[in-house]
Structure 1
């Protein structure tokens, strides 16, 4: 017997057997690892819920009208177009838009339905900006986890979380007919209308939050996939005539109705620290006034904050002059020192005021607290 031939033959069998075992192990592993999870590019990191919330908030606005309506909207393309509910902007041609970075702009209604509760508002100053991703081809399912962002009772950029608790719901709230709605466990109250319903896994918009049952945690959202053709049609060809509005109405100017400076200044400081907490130093840098930016490069700005994490505002005091606010906050944070983190407290005073008609952080001074 040729033992050498036998040994070679056995070696080949072992190699083939190992290959089959590896194949079947991989076959079982791959679906198990990827099921229900988005595919990631090499080096790409999954986003936390906190990241998704802040990234969404940047593109959600508060909308107000001179007729007393107040609601929300969100940026969906690079033309500066906002999606909102028709009942938020009905009866007017122009609206006030308040952005996440405390700007107050004017938008024009370029599309509105009298039957489906959806409308589009164009804000020229927002053209060229990034926008939210939309789920264009699929619908959500019962059990999908979602979050809603809007301005209930004027509380800008309020977040609630929940899940899809029903699908295919129908409502009639005159004059609008709502069909094939998502039922959600995030409450929708006055001011939430028009805000986005967001998938907590991907950060993409699933629907337009539109109605809620009074004194309950049940809300309803229009699936974006159902109304996207209508929305995109208005963006391509804006309506020249709006229902119930004459051409001369378009020449009227909005009455200036700015929020109190102390509220806006407080909001801007909190928004600044939200950006720092998720590591979005580029966006935080845009909240600084021109003089501060000219005296501090972006690299120097980032390096002064990159060693802090888990920042929380423990106390706040605001004093006002005619056109500026001094916002003094006490913050707690974990600070990296010599490769490890320690708990620290700081007192920071921000001077907040208008810079080229935009509310900005003009400068700051800080000190550590014992």
Structure 2
């Protein structure tokens, strides 16, 4: 009997000891673990109140954002982009996209077409608002009303570059407080971004890669590499909200109107560089359908979609390091150095290639007519 009592006592002691250890272990370690696995970041609203913003998956952000980005088309055939700002059907875009127009055609990603009315436009700040009755009561994009971007922040640029609707390019905030003067518009304290921008992107949203919030309005690009400029949304919200509350009865005249006037250098060489960058951006996002659509008919006739996709499934990421362009008259030759992260027998390795593309027009669209590559040892 005494022996049983001793055994029972020892077991009770061990159980109590283990429970005490687990209690202190949990209270000490679990909070530390939560610090590293939290999917929330701190931000402030327009009243300066601190809030927690949920981090989102990249594909989720793209899916939710694309359906609220529209293509804007004028009677003269010029194109631009815009995005839904509120539940009144108001779409934010650039002034140069809708300059000297009262009504515009608005196309959504699900192929619906609406007529939009310009209810506000500035002739010195490159901002305009288009009201689309057919988009009333639709939940708009979330706006970062008080939080501004910082250098290194990952961003997405959405729009319809070169008429390709549903286009997403990725990059970072590569510069702050840039000042530009292009035509009559003054750009002050704008973001410099590394995401590729081309004609048709203007007016599209600059999206925070982590939260899905709108940080800016993509407005201009440089012909020197993939450098773009985006107007911080916080700088123009008062102007936009004023037009939404009290639409303009008469619109000011803008002294210029050319197709995408704010793209510095709209030559075929610039388009060719953009198409090559766009091709690899699509591959990085796993959007093989878009990448395949950039191939010319002759290339597609020799390589079906299934084989094309299979050829890139083991490529996780591709970086375009350098592009050299030569205008051969009817075609453009693009020679690029790329760095690819590839999976090989379960291991990842980085491989560099020299790739050569021939680009030319098919049905008014610039396509990759042929391509070849060789590994750089």
Q: Deviations over 1:121-150 (max 9, x none)?
A: 001111122221111120122111111111
Query: CA distance change for structure 1 residues 46 and 134 in 2, over 3 Å: closer, same or farther?
Result: closer
**Match of residue 158, structure 1, among 163, 167, 178:** 167
Counterpart of 2:79 in structure 1 is 70
TM-score between both structures, scaled by the size of structure 2: 0.58
Question: Is contact 1:69–1:89 with CA below 8 Å preserved after alignment?
Answer: no
Counterpart of 2:239 in structure 1 is 230
Q: Deviations over 1:190-223 (max 9, x none)?
A: 1110001112222221110011111420001111
Once the two structures are TM-superposed, the CA of residue 19 in structure 1 deviates from its matched residue by 4.0
SS in 2 for 1:53: helix
1:92 aligns with 2:101: yes
SS in 2 for 1:168: strand
Q: What is the correspondence of 1:285-324 to structure 2 with a 5 Å cutoff? A: none
**Match of residue 171, structure 1, among 161, 177, 180:** 180
SS in 1 for 2:82: strand
**Match of residue 203, structure 2, among 194, 206, 211:** 194
- The whole-number CA distance in structure 2 between the counterparts of 1:57 and 1:13 is 56
Question: Is contact 1:145–1:163 with CA below 8 Å preserved after alignment?
Answer: yes
- The whole-number CA distance in structure 2 between the counterparts of 1:203 and 1:223 is 15
Number of residue equivalences = 253
Query: CA distance change for structure 1 residues 131 and 175 in 2, over 3 Å: closer, same or farther?
Result: same
SS in 1 for 2:240: helix
SS in 2 for 1:135: coil
SS in 2 for 1:131: coil
Question: Is contact 1:60–1:75 with CA below 8 Å preserved after alignment?
Answer: yes
Cα RMSD (Å): 3.7
1:34 aligns with 2:38: yes
- The whole-number CA distance in structure 1 between the counterparts of 2:56 and 2:32 is 26
Q: What is the correspondence of 1:100-115 to structure 2 with a 5 Å cutoff? A: 100-115=109-124
- The whole-number CA distance in structure 1 between the counterparts of 2:37 and 2:213 is 22
**Structure 1, unpaired ranges of 5+:** 1-6, 40-44, 246-309, 316-329, 333-370
Query: CA distance change for structure 1 residues 14 and 221 in 2, over 3 Å: closer, same or farther?
Result: same
Q: Deviations over 1:330-365 (max 9, x none)?
A: 986xxxxxxxxxxxxxxxxxxxxxxxxxxxxxxxxx
TM-score between both structures, scaled by the size of structure 1: 0.59
Q: Deviations over 1:34-70 (max 9, x none)?
A: 276589xxxxx97532332232111111112235542
- The whole-number CA distance in structure 2 between the counterparts of 1:312 and 1:244 is 42
SS in 2 for 1:172: strand
Query: CA distance change for structure 1 residues 229 and 99 in 2, over 3 Å: closer, same or farther?
Result: same
